[in-house]
Amino acid sequence: MALPFLPGNSSNKQLGKDRFHKSQHFDYTNGVPMLVGSEKPGIGGEPLLGQKVKPKYSVYPKGQGVDLPSWVAFDKQVLCFEAYFQEAVPEARDETYRIRKCNIYFYLEDDTIQVVEPEYKNSGIPQGTFIHRHRIPLPPPNDDQFYNVFHFNINQQMVLYSRTFTLTNCDTFTRNFLTKLGVRLNDPATVPDDPYSNLREQIEKSMKPLRPYERCDTLKQFLDQDRKVLRFYCFWDDTESLFGDLRELIMHYFLADDTIEIREVISPDSGRDAVPKFLHRGKLPKHGPAQIKQPGEITDRTVLNVFASTSQGKRYILDSLKTGAVHEEFYKDCDLTVGGEINVWGRRVVITDCDDFTKDYYRLKYGIDDFTRVQYKAPAAPPPPRFVPPYNGFGSEEDSLSSCQGLLPKPPQKDFRKFMEKDRCGLESNVLNFRAKMVTADPVDRERLFIISFYLCDDSISVFERPQRNSGVIGGKFMERSRVKKPDQELFKSELSEYFTAQDLYVGATLCLNSKHFQLLDADEYTLNYMEQHAEEVGRDLKEEFFSSSGLRGVVTLCYFFIYVCACVHRRGLLMGLDCGLSEHEVLVLGRRFTVREEPEADVGLMLAVAQDLLKKKHFEEIPDLARAFAYHDRQK
């Protein structure tokens, strides 16, 4: 018994519903107001009475994973079907219909369809893309809808623009995809025979060529050996002719087609025209020059006329024995060896050498290991010595020497690599600073102190005098930065003068700078560290000197008296007095090496004063938290 239709006795369909909007049924199409609401739903998006919602695109079942749109999930995924359609051929005697095969591609990302017909040889009809890629509507009366993925199945027909296509088969990806969608695929169908295509095949099989030919395939050799060239160095002795001489040649053998090209090496000032090629690329016959053959005398095949009749025509046959054929031998790669001779159109060319690629090729293919170079000319005479005139005093010696090396003088080349490596870089100054005094009998000059700086980037030296109070000498720059020549050298000579280098500067050395003698007394910490780390580059290598026979005795003596020397106040004097051939700089290095450096104890009072001053300046007010942290970490008090 049904309840009466009274308030409170029937269920409210609006419960839980939150959408009550009304769909828009009017819109503008090309500027004209039209009614477009026939497919629009009712209030709240619910379908109207008797209305069926037609999906515009393929609706795929939801699976596990990320919910991506179809144009992302099915990007570059295409279903491929094999199909055919029958086309009527009116007004033709040999055929009434024609079976045309094609491939149908369905793009999953946007439900577009493309039909492509494979091209056949001599078909006589335009083939290729039969229907361009786009969405194809269903046949009437459902032409307001489009084909989707569920309209496809093999062994069925589908109408595309009034043309009926029969799907016969599909590829593996299409079969697996449709099976996962739940589509039950039919069995593959066979393509019916095309009568006219069968007739064409029978005609082609029965046809016999009027000119029987012999196939010679050279494509494999070209694909395997393309861009591979053997290079040989050879010569042609033309001294017997008038004004003839020895001609140097370079021969290229192309492995792709067994052709040879020869180029001539023309030396400067030879008096010959620079022709591009001595022999153009082509096959080189072994027995040339021969009598010129008449046209048609040399052919790739031999054809015999076995039957000739004016009524029944002529019959030809290919001569498999090649009787009467003219064979001409050409040079191959097996005929070219180092030391061998070849005939280049009557010219005797001798092969003298080859490049590394050619050697590897013959070593791998023919097992040849002997590639001894053929000496065909006397070794070049050494160039005559060039006598350099002595220095004339104008400019620097390097500049004067460069003016003697060519007609166009060039500035002397500097060691740019050394400049980049030894130039100042950050905290690395690459400058060696020494404290020095002047070696002289003058008591005033004897008390003057100098700073000698040696720049490793260009071996230049600068001297700076330290100002002293009440000395009567104005301090400052004593010598500009420049390279300094060693003393006792002849001024006007052909050889370049020697300059002071980093090996000449060490503690205890005496330098003569601008006729002034200076003795190096000490060096700064950077200089001593640099000289210890670069013992082979700067100064003398102490290792070689110490481990020699005489130096070893000094080391043994040093080991016996080391404790006594370290306890003595005058360590430097005792080390200098030992008979081990040590210079003052080496004694300084030994003292730095074996001295125990004691680090000063930390001044707790100074640290506290600095911390308190810093806290006062920063207006630090969290003193209780600081005391609590100290008490936590200093548990033993």
Instruction: Determine the pLDDT at residue 44.
Output: 79
Instruction: Determine the pLDDT at residue 564.
Output: 43
**338 within 8 A of 353, measured Cβ to Cβ:** yes
Instruction: Determine the pLDDT at residue 171.
Output: 93
Q: Identify the burial level of 260 via C-beta atoms within 10 angstroms of its C-beta, where 0-12 means exposed, 13-18 middle and 19 or more buried.
A: buried
169-183 pLDDT, tens per residue? Answer: 999 999 999 998 888
pLDDT at 504 over 50: yes
DSSP per-residue string spanning 388-422: PPPP-SSS-HHHHHHTTS-SS--PPPP-HHHHHHH
Torsion of CA 237, 239, 242, 248, to 10 degrees: 50
Strand partners, 479: 463
Q: What is the CATH number of domain 218-290+300-366?
A: 2.30.29.170
Mean pLDDT score of the chain: 83
**236 within 8 A of 272, measured Cβ to Cβ:** no
pLDDT band for 269, please (50, 70, 90 cuts). confident
**551 within 8 A of 581, measured Cβ to Cβ:** yes
Count CA atoms within 13 Å of residue 295 on its CB side. Answer: 0
Residue with tokens 């939801």: 62
Higher pLDDT, 255 or 244: 255
C-alpha distances out from residue 162 to 138, 149, 157, 158, 523, Å: 10, 20, 12, 9, 103
pLDDT at 186 over 50: yes
348-371 pLDDT, tens per residue? Answer: 999 999 999 999 999 999 999 999
**351 within 8 A of 233, measured Cβ to Cβ:** yes
Please state the rounded mean pLDDT for residues 237-261.
93
Please state the rounded mean pLDDT for residues 34-59.
74
- Residue 497 CA to residue 488 CA, distance in Å, equals 10
- Residue 252 CA to residue 231 CA, distance in Å, equals 5
Q: What is the CATH number of domain 80-203?
A: 2.30.29.170
- Residue 422 CA to residue 413 CA, distance in Å, equals 17
pLDDT band for 49, please (50, 70, 90 cuts). confident
Please state the rounded mean pLDDT for residues 201-209.
76
Instruction: Supply angle C-alpha 166, 167, 170, rounded to 5.
Output: 165
218-234 pLDDT, tens per residue? Answer: 899 999 999 999 999 99
Instruction: Determine the pLDDT at residue 575.
Output: 58
pLDDT at 128 over 80: yes
pLDDT at 65 over 70: no
- pTM as predicted: 0.44
Cα Rg of the chain, angstroms: 51
pLDDT at 565 over 80: no
Q: Please give the distance of CA 481 from its chain centroid, rounded to a whole number.
A: 46
Lowest mean per-residue pLDDT among 45-59, 497-511, 520-534: 45-59
The SS3 call for residue 445 is helix
pLDDT at 562 over 60: no
**251 within 8 A of 260, measured Cβ to Cβ:** yes
pLDDT band for 103, please (50, 70, 90 cuts). very high
pLDDT band for 571, please (50, 70, 90 cuts). low
pLDDT at 1 over 70: no
In CATH, 414-538 is 2.30.29.170: yes
Q: What is the largest CA-CA distance in the chain?
A: 144
- Residue 190 CA to residue 196 CA, distance in Å, equals 18
Instruction: Determine the pLDDT at residue 563.
Output: 42
Nearest to 347 by CA among 236, 477, 181: 236
pLDDT at 466 over 60: yes
Region(s) of the chain under CATH 2.30.29.170: 80-203, 218-290+300-366, 414-538
DSSP 566: H
HEC per residue, 303-371: EEEEEEECCCEEEEEECCCCCCCCCCCECCHHHCCCCCEEEECCEEEEEEEECHHHHHHHHHHCCCCCC
Instruction: Determine the pLDDT at residue 213.
Output: 59
Q: Which amino acid is at 452?
A: I
DSSP 516: E
Percent of the chain with pLDDT over 90: 39
pLDDT at 295 over 70: yes
Residue with tokens 């076995």: 306
594 φ/ψ angles, rounded to the nearest 5 degrees: -100, 5
